[in-house]
Structure 1
Amino acid sequence: MSAERTWADARLLWDHHLMHHTPGPCSVAIGLGSHDLGVADTAVELHRRGMAPLLVFTGATSPTTRERMPRGEAVHHRERALGLGVPDSAVLVEPRARNTGENIRFSRELLEEAGVDVSPVLLVSKPYEERRANATARKLWPGVEFVSASSPMTFEEYVASIRDERLVIDMLVGALQRLMIYPAQGFMVADPVPGEVTAAYERLCRAGFTSRLVTDGHGAVGQ
């Protein structure tokens, strides 16, 4: 597949993963843990703009963050926010979650225990995780309105920031696969994928962008 076709397909996936929400005033912003401190930066910017008086950072460690964030993703994101001027009283930490479902469940429990009146909620994630996080939250926390946000970056800007084109496309492909297979497993609500996006995903899979795909436990890739 040509480089032009690869990038065109990757842009289709990138655009689909974005929810294209316009943030408005919410009760709380939940920053989903990851390697990307841009999540904390975006949450802080939304806080400064009056979009969320309270920030929650959620996440333990993973194989990809253990060395970079030894104290846990949520703790490092909190430290970033405090360093950017957010008062300690405006930040809560949920340090146990190891996947998106736990990010939502444990954050919900934390806010309920704190007596926070929740609605609506800003979900702050990596750009290509917006739709997946939103669909997961709607499954696990019904009755709450969720507004998605991430660093305002184009696909090209994100590739430049990561400095690894193949890794970024692999992550886009993996996130799209989860949107297609996780609803049947009860992890998120169904969120239909347009045919042109599915076709782009299939071309990228055939081109070998498969390192982030989920397998069925026997080595076969679910598509």
Structure 2
Amino acid sequence: MTAQDITDEHHRDAQTLWDYHQLGHEPQNTEVAVVLGSYDLGAARHAAALYHQGRFPLIVFTGATNDYTIDVFPQGEAVAFHAAATAAGVPDTATMIEDKATNSGANITLSRQLLLQAGIVPKSVMLIAMPFMERRAFATCRAQWPEVDVVCSSQPISLADYLVSSADPRHVLCDMVGDLQRIIEYPKHGYMIEQVVPEEVHAALKRLIVAGYDSVLPKP
């Protein structure tokens, strides 16, 4: 499927989810950035750009692989992201690699442990992820690392441009659906803090699930 194959109706519903997933936090300086691994190197390049702006002095790249990224980054997401950032001019001395995390909760807890082992206890953290992963990352961090001040950031790009640039636009929509379902379900397990989900977002989610964008839904 290409971006052009997505129907106007499905694109409208996807836009509703995209807008909800993004938090629109104002840029601010933090002590550390944590870059959550995925199949999208845009997060690593965005982190490099913010580093060069002086937004933070240290970046933790976190992520192993999953069924979707094992063929894209066989060396591991964090390692691939680190390579992209260093290619963009970020020095090794300003980076750390956490290469064991396989989900967003582990991204947070293992990055926190890595910093603690190095004697670093930040009071403020910037989470950098895919554009539609901001809210999930924020809600997870608030549950798993509640004492830290957290702000989220992602590559500034529209949904339309993101889908055109993606090798698998259908998977992007499936990911947005899966992330929203986790935002709804995971607080009851303590994985995330509760988030208000407007009715129009619920409705768009249901329509996309019925339309078959359901391959990344959490397992019951």
Task: Tell whether the structures are fold-level matches, with TM greater than 0.5.
Answer: yes
> Matched residues in 1 for 2:171 and 2:107: separation?
23
The number of residue pairs the alignment matches comes to 215
- Give the 5 Å matches for 1:50-129: 50-129=54-133
- Give the 5 Å matches for 1:167-186: 167-186=171-190
Give 1:26's match in structure 2, choosing from 1, 21, 30.
30
> Matched residues in 1 for 2:213 and 2:74: separation?
29
> Contact 1:135–1:191 (CA<8 Å) still a contact in 2?
yes
Q: What is the one-letter code of the residue matched to 2:177?
A: V
> Contact 1:23–1:122 (CA<8 Å) still a contact in 2?
no
Q: Which residue of 2 aligns with 1:198?
A: 202
> Matched residues in 1 for 2:186 and 2:133: separation?
14
* Shift, 1:119, TM fit: 2.1
- Give the 5 Å matches for 1:146-185: 146-185=150-189
> Matched residues in 1 for 2:103 and 2:167: separation?
25
> Matched residues in 1 for 2:61 and 2:169: separation?
28
- What do you get for the CA RMSD once the two structures are aligned? 1.3
How has the CA–CA distance of structure 1 residues 85 and 16 changed in structure 2, closer, same or farther, with 3 Å as cutoff?
same
* Shift, 1:166, TM fit: 2.2
How has the CA–CA distance of structure 1 residues 165 and 73 changed in structure 2, closer, same or farther, with 3 Å as cutoff?
closer
> Matched residues in 2 for 1:167 and 1:74: separation?
21
Q: Which residue of 1 aligns with 2:8?
A: 4
Structure 2 residues without counterparts, runs of 5 or longer: 1-5
> Contact 1:123–1:147 (CA<8 Å) still a contact in 2?
yes
> Matched residues in 2 for 1:114 and 1:170: separation?
37
Aligned sequence identity (%): 44
Q: What is the one-letter code of the residue matched to 2:80?
A: H
- Give the 5 Å matches for 1:201-220: 201-216=205-220
* Shift, 1:215, TM fit: 2.8
Give 2:146's match in structure 1, choosing from 130, 142, 148.
142
How has the CA–CA distance of structure 1 residues 131 and 205 changed in structure 2, closer, same or farther, with 3 Å as cutoff?
same
Q: Which residue of 1 aligns with 2:46?
A: 42
* Shift, 1:164, TM fit: 3.3
How has the CA–CA distance of structure 1 residues 163 and 65 changed in structure 2, closer, same or farther, with 3 Å as cutoff?
closer
> Contact 1:27–1:117 (CA<8 Å) still a contact in 2?
no
